[in-house]
Amino acid sequence: MEQSTATRPHRGDELTVKIDTLAHGGAGVARHNGYVLFVAGGIPGDTVRVAVGKAKRAYAEARTLEVLQPSPDRIAPLADHPGAPWQVIPYARQLEIKQQQVDDSLRRIGRLDGFTLEPIVAAVEQWRYRNKLEYSFGRDTDGRLICGFHAPGRWEEIVEVRDCMLASEAGNRAREEVVEWCRAQGLEPYDRRSGQGFLRNLVVREGRRTGELQVRLVTSPGRLDGESLAGALSGAPGLLWTRLESLGETTMGGQTELLAGAERLEEELGGLRVSISGEAFFQTNTEMAEQLYALAIEYAQLRGFERVYDLFCGIGTIGLLMAPRAAELWGLEIVEDAIADAIRNARRNEIDNARFFAGDVRLVLRELVERAGRPDVLVVDPPRAGLSQKVVRRVIEAAPKRIVYVSCNPTTLAPNAAQLVEAGYELTKVRPVDMFPQTPHVECVAQLERRAAS
């Protein structure tokens, strides 16, 4: 039945609601006169006062203003951190919810059945697990330069962070040193409303095993005394400066210059020594990436004679860990710097049966099959949007015996897996991995086997 506009909440309304469940993506779900509200900051069992944001015909987004009656599940938060919205849910419960959400996606969105759902792999560290943090510059109410995160739901407002509990102490120190230096230089933050100002973002990356740091300052075009900034940082991190012309909130693109130290960050993972370029993707939880990759290797069931494809390979980590267990490895990735890293990483780890190519999977997978031959095992690790229909069709054409799907979003894994099942594959097993404690994000690895022709 269509909701009448008289009872439908509108942007700016304040309401009191009770949260029933959690949606994918982490918002609390509440109902107001049958109308669905996705409430940021609410967990099941809470009664909250909310402000309504974007409102559609069937649902609206809302933000918690006050928790009037807390859920019996709620625990005290450890850190004032917009990047850790689930910290009020006990960790064991977070794991249960993630396990349930993966199951729910596969069954309800993908209409899949008959697979084994293995128990979620819990995180090694529940805090300070990120090897990369992207901060934004802004001003506090006194006009002082600050560095932190966007306030939830407010793109133009920055909340200062003093001790980011998702970063290591060394990463926090690097951020504080940069901010102190910027204040001493009198540099202005970028104003997201007017597009004026200089300092935009600060990206701090850390080699968790090597102890190396990489600091990348992202600004609008202008002047910067790189030598002075390098001198203000302890521990001689790699220092990069990216100048961006665009108005959007991004740290990608633009012109990047090395100001001091090493251009690439060094890390160790699963016995590999790898170097990572400034803009190449690298899993943000090193310790859990090792577990994710170990699971991908287990699900690949390699016996040594296989031709393996690693699609969306980044700097080649999954493929390089699989190559010694296979006959040959072919990696494909769109970011050229990441492919240069993958080739370098193969050489320095003395892996000589791996080849890497830069290209869009959508456009060049067919060509790869013509050149390399059909894969026995095909690994995909796409971004959150999952595989496009066209890529799924190309994968089906490539006809691997086994597909290992590494997914950072079960709601896109589900329809992709359903298409593959429709085309003759069986979804055999799936295992969630908790890479991001205190957040709603969940990764998982799925295994699909080609059914024998009857």
Ligand X SMILES: C[S@@+](CC[C@H](N)C(=O)[O-])C[C@H]1O[C@@H](n2cnc3c(N)ncnc32)[C@H](O)[C@@H]1O
Q: Answer yes or no: are the C-beta atoms of 306 and 377 closer than 8 Å.
A: yes
333: contact with ligand X by CB under 6 A: yes
361: contact with ligand X by CB under 6 A: yes
DSSP characters for 118-140?
Answer: PPPBPPS-SSS--SEEEEEEEE-
Looking at 38, 86, 198, 282, which residue binds ligand X (CB under 6 A)? 282
Looking at 218, 265, 313, 403, which residue binds ligand X (CB under 6 A)? 313
Burial (CB < 10 A; 0-12, 13-18, 19+), residue 193, is: exposed
If the CB atoms of residues 19 and 338 are measured against ligand X, the closer one turns out to be 338
Q: Which H helix or E strand runs over 214?
A: strand 213-219
Catalytic residue status for 444: no
DSSP characters for 163-187?
Answer: S-TTS-HHHHHHHHHHHHHHHHHTP
If the CB atoms of residues 179 and 297 are measured against ligand X, the closer one turns out to be 297
Q: Least distance to ligand X from the beta carbon of 364, Å?
A: 8
If the CB atoms of residues 161 and 413 are measured against ligand X, the closer one turns out to be 413
Spatial strand order in the sheet of 132-139 = 154-160, 145-151, 132-139, 199-206, 213-219, 238-243, 255-260
398: contact with ligand X by CB under 6 A: no
Residue holding tokens 């918002």?
27
Q: What is the 3 state secondary structure string of 373-385?
A: CCCCEEEECCCCC
Looking at 129, 312, 330, 436, which residue binds ligand X (CB under 6 A)? 312
Q: Answer yes or no: are the C-beta atoms of 17 and 69 closer than 8 Å.
A: no
360: contact with ligand X by CB under 6 A: yes
Task: Give the Cα separation of 159 and 18 in Å (integer).
Answer: 28
Looking at 381, 395, 435, 440, which residue binds ligand X (CB under 6 A)? 381
Burial (CB < 10 A; 0-12, 13-18, 19+), residue 103, is: middle
If the CB atoms of residues 235 and 383 are measured against ligand X, the closer one turns out to be 383
**Active-site residue identified among 147, 313, 408, 444:** 408
Looking at 283, 416, 438, 439, which residue binds ligand X (CB under 6 A)? 283
Looking at 73, 383, 422, 451, which residue binds ligand X (CB under 6 A)? 383
94: contact with ligand X by CB under 6 A: no
Choose one: 26-34, 194-202, 380-388, 428-436; the region binding ligand X (CB under 6 A): 380-388
Residues of this chain that bind ligand X (CB under 6 A):
281-283, 312-314, 317-318, 332-335, 338, 360-362, 381-383, 408
Catalytic residues: 408
